[in-house]
């Protein structure tokens, strides 16, 4: 008797916004796991009924909808993806202590680096001279701490690309925009991070998930215009 | 080999209380060290150089920081007793979502109630009540956020309950009036020895807040 294994097709939808660093993380995770998914671009000025239904609390992207059930908040989504599709490309370490460390650094990146990038973005495009220099300096300090944590490892995850790597890479696409906009480069101060980011970009999951730099820069210029800044 | 567990803590910290509850739920023996937050110990600075904050769990000499990360660590290492997170990945994602919601809302809003005045305080009060109502909605008719069993979201929220009296006094309002089910849930949690032994007396928190308000000249 032949028993045919019937595979239930997984339905995976990602409600996203192309410049969102948080959306980029989820795209990377899905691709690392080799998952097919439908990406739906949200208009954040006119949110879809589906988004409002799936994320009524925060009404934000990204939202992963897996077989009709929503998961929100990028860190939570990535861990969910890692736990459900655990047999391929593990993103979090198997050891509880290493896992706690990975969560710690991802949390640091999302809170401190995001906060600084946001403020930096504000400072860089609204200020000149000394204040701008001070903004850049603060930002470099946060990145240097991360560079120290990376050390001589190829990835934050060690030999393998993992949770912390995919959390930080999306910020690098935005960092690149600020570097062009303000003519500052972190290459001198954080050469290891630059090498690391190039290594990550060689991965298909990363290169296909991050937007084109020119396109992102164009978006940044649009944002400046909307905010009435030269 | 006996596990060496140390917790760097501060008596009134809702975040420290979460770790205490988790450790007791798992039946673990540990050494608690009270930090002086105005004069942080060399050990704290060494174990949490990035944030220099408590709580820090030190397990066999290795530090784990940030209370949700510590609680998950405890749950994963001592997984055979009193599981705090659900086994199902989707339910686990939901538990993490609500714990994250609590972390982003309750502390800041509660803090504004006792540190600000006038309109700021009123706005914080309103928003806090809206958040607590949402949480009450999520609890629904279940005995705990975790369902039949006390879990991660319960641990994350119950530690704020000893601060409620201080918030209510400063803001002149009653949480019970608007969220009776939530208050019933806090009483249910307090029947657990892990919770009652980990939370300080709300009157003590209230007196501490009064002292701080005097010190900083807040009406």
Q: What is the pLDDT of residues A125-156, one digit of tens each?
A: 666 677 777 777 887 888 899 999 999 999 99
Contact B89 A145 (CB under 8 A): no
Range B20-48 average pLDDT = 97
Q: Which of A78-82, A173-177, B76-80 has the lowest mean pLDDT?
A: A173-177
Contact B66 A69 (CB under 8 A): no
B contacts of A97 (beta carbons < 8 Å): 59, 62, 64, 73
Q: Convert the pLDDT of each residue in B1-33 to its tens digit.
A: 689 999 999 999 999 999 999 999 999 999 999
Does residue A71 belong to the interface with chain B, where contact is any CB pair within 8 Å?
Answer: yes
Reading phi first (left if > 0) and then psi (alpha if -120 to 50, else beta), residue B185 is in alpha
Q: How many CB atoms lie within 10 A of CB B9?
A: 21
Q: Convert the pLDDT of each residue in A59-118 to its tens digit.
A: 999 999 999 999 999 999 999 999 999 999 999 999 999 999 999 999 999 988 877 776
Contact B72 A66 (CB under 8 A): no
In angstroms, what CA-CA distances link B43 with A55, A100, A101, B7, B39?
42, 19, 18, 11, 12
Q: What is the mean pLDDT of chain B?
A: 96
| Best of B97, B98, B102, B130 to mutate (most A CBs within 10 Å, chain A) | B97
The answer to whether residue A8 scores a pLDDT higher than 80 is no
Q: Convert the pLDDT of each residue in A23-54 to its tens digit.
A: 999 999 999 999 999 999 999 999 999 999 99
Range A157-174 average pLDDT = 94
Q: What are phi and psi of A125, to 5 degrees?
A: -90, -10
- The alpha carbon of residue B188 is apart from the nearest alpha carbon of chain A, in Å, by 26
Give the pLDDT score at B190.
Answer: 98
Residues 6+ apart with CB under 8 A from A87: none
β-strands B56-59, A63-66 pairing = unpaired
The answer to whether residue A188 scores a pLDDT higher than 90 is no
Give the pLDDT score at A226.
Answer: 78
- The alpha carbon of residue A214 is apart from the nearest alpha carbon of chain B, in Å, by 34
Q: What are phi and psi of B214, to 5 degrees?
A: -65, -45
Range B54-82 average pLDDT = 98
Which pTM value belongs to this model?
Answer: 0.94
H runs (alpha helix) in chain A? 21-32, 49-54, 74-84, 96-108, 114-126, 129-150, 163-182, 191-201, 204-207, 213-226
């Amino acid at each position: 008797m032949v028993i045919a294994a019937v595979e239930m097709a997984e339905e995976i939808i990602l409600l996203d916004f192309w410049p969102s660093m948080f959306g980029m993380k989820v795209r990377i995770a899905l691709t690392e796991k080799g998952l097919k998914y439908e990406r739906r671009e949200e208009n954040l000025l006119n949110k879809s009924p589906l988004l409002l239904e799936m994320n009524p609390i925060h009404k934000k992207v990204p939202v992963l909808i897996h077989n009709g059930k929503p998961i929100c908040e990028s860190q939570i989504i990535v861990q969910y993806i890692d736990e459900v599709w655990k047999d391929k490309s593990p993103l979090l370490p198997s050891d509880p202590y290493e896992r706690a460390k990975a969560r710690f650094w991802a949390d640091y990146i999302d809170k401190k680096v995001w906060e600084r990038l946001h403020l930096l973005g504000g400072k860089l495009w609204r200020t000149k001279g000394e204040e701008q220099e001070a903004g850049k300096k603060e930002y470099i300090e946060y990145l240097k701490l991360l560079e120290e944590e990376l050390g001589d490892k190829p990835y934050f995850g060690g030999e393998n690309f993992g949770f912390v790597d995919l959390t930080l890479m999306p910020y690098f696409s935005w960092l690149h925009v600020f570097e062009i906009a303000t003519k500052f480069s972190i290459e001198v101060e954080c050469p290891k991070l630059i090498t690391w980011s190039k290594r990550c970009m060689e991965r298909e999951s990363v290169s296909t998930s991050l937007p084109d730099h020119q396109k992102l820069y164009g978006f940044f210029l649009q944002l400046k215009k909307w905010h009435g800044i030269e | 080999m006996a596990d060496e567990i140390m917790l760097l803590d501060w008596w009134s910290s809702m975040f420290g209380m979460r770790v205490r509850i988790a450790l007791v739920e798992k039946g673990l023996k540990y050494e608690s060290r009270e930090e002086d937050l105005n004069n942080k110990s060399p050990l704290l600075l060494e174990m949490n150089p990035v944030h220099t904050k408590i709580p820090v769990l030190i397990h066999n000499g290795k530090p784990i920081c940030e209370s949700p990360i510590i609680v998950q660590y405890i749950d994963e290492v001592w997984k055979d007793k009193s599981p705090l997170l659900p086994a199902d990945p989707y339910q686990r994602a939901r538990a993490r979502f609500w714990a994250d919601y609590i972390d982003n809302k309750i502390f800041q809003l509660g803090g504004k109630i006792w540190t600000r005045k006038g309109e700021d305080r009123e706005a914080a009060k309103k928003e806090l009540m809206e958040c607590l109502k949402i949480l009450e909605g999520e609890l629904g008719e279940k005995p705990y956020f975790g369902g039949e069993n006390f879990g991660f979201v319960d641990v994350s929220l119950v530690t704020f309950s000893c601060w409620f009296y201080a918030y209510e006094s400063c803001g002149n309002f009653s949480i019970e009036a608007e969220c009776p089910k939530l208050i019933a849930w806090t009483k249910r949690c307090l029947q657990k020895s892990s919770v009652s032994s980990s939370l300080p007396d709300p009157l003590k928190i209230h007196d501490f807040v009064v002292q701080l308000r005097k010190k900083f000249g807040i009406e």
